[in-house]
């Protein structure tokens, strides 16, 4: 358990430092982002909802799972192995995104930060714990947490494409600031929270020898076809 705890500590530290660095600029960056040309704001509004938890679970997740399993066909896995991989991959995405959703909604309720829409009345740093309601659920960003978990899961499964996945997550995160739904620190916290759930879930799966294995340094790595368990008797 040493490695997961160490990873949690580092991600927590990174989250705190990044959020703390962005907080002083939240108001300025938010106002400037919303003042961008209407065409840019409209473009961001058109793509921002790709970051919803529902879309991540029922849309792209399904397509990528199918694509991932299709590669297994070419690698010669047995039918039983392909079905087992499909179940475990689906479970990995469900647990990662589901956990992220539960955690972020709890934090929103506990923290109660007013959204940029209420800037004129509350400012950028108003906290109303247990207030509930959309207008007081700015921190952390739910969309950013969803894409952080979604693309974080992909980055754990396909480490060589991590830069592309990071760019995808950042793109959705930026849209939340441009459309006036969140402050930059909300987005940073959400992205890192989502990534944390993907990493921690990978550790749990590696402990059960599902989809991942622990390398020499104790980090979860995706299992190759040659490392798959033999078919059940």
pLDDT tens track for 155-191 = 999 999 999 999 999 999 999 999 999 999 999 999 9
pLDDT value of position 123: 94
pLDDT value of position 1: 52
Q: What percent of the chain has pLDDT over 70?
A: 84
Kind of pairing between the strands at 212-214 and 220-222: antiparallel
pLDDT value of position 66: 61
Given a cut of 90, whether residue 11 has pLDDT beyond it is no
Q: pTM, whole model, 2 decimals?
A: 0.87
Provide CB contacts within 8 A for 95, sequence distance 6+.
Answer: 201, 204
Q: How far is it, in rounded angstroms, from Cα 11 to Cα 189?
A: 10
Domain 2-224 belongs to what architecture?
Up-down Bundle (1.20)
69-123: pLDDT as tens digits? 555 555 556 667 777 777 888 889 989 999 999 999 999 999 999 999 999 999 9
pLDDT value of position 68: 59
pLDDT value of position 121: 94
Question: Exposed, middle or buried, 100 (CB in 10 Å: 0-12/13-18/19+)?
Answer: buried
**Tokens for 179?**
């459309």
The domain segmentation of the chain, as residue ranges, is: 2-224
Q: How far is it, in rounded angstroms, from Cα 123 to Cα 232?
A: 60
pLDDT value of position 146: 93
Which residues, listed in sequence order, are joined to residue 220 by a DSSP beta bridge?
Answer: 214
123-165: pLDDT as tens digits? 999 999 999 899 999 999 999 999 999 999 999 999 999 999 9
Which residues, listed in sequence order, are joined to residue 221 by a DSSP beta bridge?
Answer: 213
Quick one: how far is CA 109 from the chain centroid? Answer: 19
pLDDT value of position 203: 95
């Amino acid at each position: 358990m040493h490695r997961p705890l160490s990873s949690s500590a580092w991600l927590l530290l990174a989250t705190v430092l990044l959020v703390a660095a962005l907080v002083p600029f939240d108001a300025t960056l938010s106002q400037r982002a919303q003042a961008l040309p209407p065409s840019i704001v409209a473009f961001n509004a058109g793509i921002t909802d790709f970051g919803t938890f529902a879309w991540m679970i029922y849309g792209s997740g399904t397509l990528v799972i199918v694509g991932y399993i299709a590669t297994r066909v070419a690698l010669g896995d047995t039918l039983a192995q392909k079905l087992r991989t499909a179940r475990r991959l689906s479970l990995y995405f469900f647990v990662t995104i589901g956990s992220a959703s539960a955690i972020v909604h709890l934090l929103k309720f506990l923290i109660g930060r007013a959204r940029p829409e209420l800037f004129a009345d509350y400012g950028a740093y108003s906290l109303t714990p247990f207030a509930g309601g959309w207008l007081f659920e700015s921190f952390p960003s739910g969309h950013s947490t969803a894409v952080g978990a979604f693309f974080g899961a992909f980055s754990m499964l396909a480490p060589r494409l991590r830069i592309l996945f990071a760019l995808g997550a950042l793109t959705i995160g930026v849209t939340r600031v441009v459309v006036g739904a969140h402050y930059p620190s909300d987005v940073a916290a959400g992205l890192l929270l989502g990534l944390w759930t993907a990493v921690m879930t990978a550790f749990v799966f590696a402990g059960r020898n599902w989809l991942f294995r622990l390398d020499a340094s104790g980090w979860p790595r995706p299992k190759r076809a040659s490392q798959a368990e033999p078919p059940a008797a």
